[in-house]
Amino acid sequence: MSLTNLEEVVNICDGLIVIGSAIDINPKNYDEQPISEIHKMTEEIDTLDFSIIKAFNNVNKHILGICRGIQSINVCFGGSLYQDIPNHKLPKEERYNVKFEKESFLYDCYNIEQMLINSLHHQAVKEVAKGFKVVAKSEDGIVEAIENKNIIAVQWHPEYMNDIKFFEYFINKISNKDH
Q: Is residue 23 predicted with pLDDT exceeding 50?
A: yes
Domain range for 96: 3-174
76 is catalytic: no
CA angle (27, 30, 34) in 5-degree steps: 20
Q: Do the domain assignments include residue 161?
A: yes
User: What is residue 37's predicted lDDT score, i.e. its pLDDT?
Assistant: 82
The model's confidence at residue 2, banded by pLDDT at 50, 70 and 90, is low
Q: Do the domain assignments include residue 92?
A: yes
Question: Distance between alpha carbon 148 and the CA centroid of its chain, in Å?
Answer: 12
Select the more confidently predicted residue: 43 or 90.
43
Which residue among the candidates 62, 88, 121, 157 is catalytic per the annotation?
A: 157
Exposed e or buried b per residue across 108-121, where buried means at least 16 C-beta atoms within 10 angstroms of its C-beta: ebbeeeebebbbbb
109 is catalytic: no
Which residue among the candidates 43, 139, 159, 168 is catalytic per the annotation?
A: 159
Q: Residue 166 maps to which CATH number?
A: 3.40.50.880
Give the count of domains, the chain. Answer: 1
Q: Do the domain assignments include residue 108?
A: yes
Which residue among the candidates 62, 67, 121, 144 is catalytic per the annotation?
A: 67
Q: Is residue 138 predicted with pLDDT exceeding 80?
A: yes
The model's confidence at residue 92, banded by pLDDT at 50, 70 and 90, is low
User: What is residue 173's predicted lDDT score, i.e. its pLDDT?
Assistant: 86
Q: Do the domain assignments include residue 54?
A: yes
67 is catalytic: yes
Closest by CA to 160, choosing from 132, 129, 119, is 119
Q: Do the domain assignments include residue 77?
A: yes
Q: Is residue 177 predicted with pLDDT exceeding 70?
A: no
